[in-house]
Chains A and B, each alone.
Chain A
C-alpha cells in the first residue's frame, strides 16, 4: 500500500467521522468545530487529487466564510451560545434510508472500469483558461445566481417588512 493510499484512507476516515460528529453532537458550537474540521479535511483530499486551486478555494470559501456564517447564525438565534440541543432520537427510517442510499451507490462501483492511469494534474492557468473559455456560461450563471441570492437574502432580513 502506497503512501498516497494510506493518506487517502486516513483522510476518508476523518471525513466520515467528522461529518457524523457534526450532526450528532448536542452543542451547536461544537458542531461548527466539527464541520470546520470536515471542510479542512476535504481541502486536504483536493490537494491529494492534485487540485491545488480547489483546495485553496475550499479552505477560503468553506472553512473560512461558510463556517463563520453558520457561527453567526447560531450566535444571533440563541440566548446562550453553549445551550444544548434537545435530544432527537435516531429514527430507524432515516437511518435505513441513508444506509440503503449508500449500498445502492456502492453497488454501482463494480460496473466502473478500473482506472490504472495516474492522477491527472492541471495548473491553475489551465483551469482559468477552461473556466473562462468553454465553461464561461456556468461562471456567468453563478454570478447571476449569487446576485439574486444576495438580493433575496437582504430582502428577507431587512427591518420593517410588512
Chain B
C-alpha cells in the first residue's frame, strides 16, 4: 500500500460533502434530510481517517482514527435524536414533510 495519493481521497470527500449539501437543500422529507446529513458527516469522518493514514513526517496519525471513532458515535446519537423528532413531528402534524413544520413562522 504505497501509492495511494492523498488528493484523490480528499476529492471524494469534497464530492460527498457536495452531495450532502445538495440533499439538505432540496429534500423535504425529514428522513431524507437525516440521510443527507449522514452523508455529509461521513465525508468529514473520511477526512479524519485519510489524515490518520498519511501522517506528517515523524508524527503518528492515530489520533485521527480516535476522533473518527468518537465522531461515529456522535453521528449515531444524532440519528437517534433525529428519529425521535420524526416521531414527535408525525404525531403532531401527521406528516414528516419539513415544509409543514412552520409553527414558529410569523
Whether A61 pairs with B76 at a CB distance below 8 angstroms is yes
Query: In the assembly, what is the distance between CA of A109 and CA of B26, in Å?
Result: 28
| Residues on B with beta carbons closer than 8 Å to the beta carbon of A101 | 14, 17-18, 21
| Residues on A with beta carbons closer than 8 Å to the beta carbon of B4 | 4-5, 8, 48-49, 119
A81 in the interface, Cβ–Cβ < 8 Å? no
CB distance from A17 to the nearest CB of B (A): 10
Secondary structure at chain B's binding surface: helix, strand, loop or mixed?
Answer: helix
Question: Could you say which interface size class chain A belongs to?
Answer: 35 or more
Within 8 A of B (CB), among A58-93: 58, 61-62, 65-66, 69-70, 72-74, 76-77, 85, 88, 90-91, 93
Contact of A126 among B26, B29, B62, B79 (CB under 8 A): B62
14 A–B contacts, CB within 8 A, in A order:
A16-B19, A19-B19, A23-B19, A23-B22, A35-B39, A38-B39, A54-B69, A77-B96, A85-B29, A93-B25, A94-B26, A118-B2, A122-B62, A130-B66
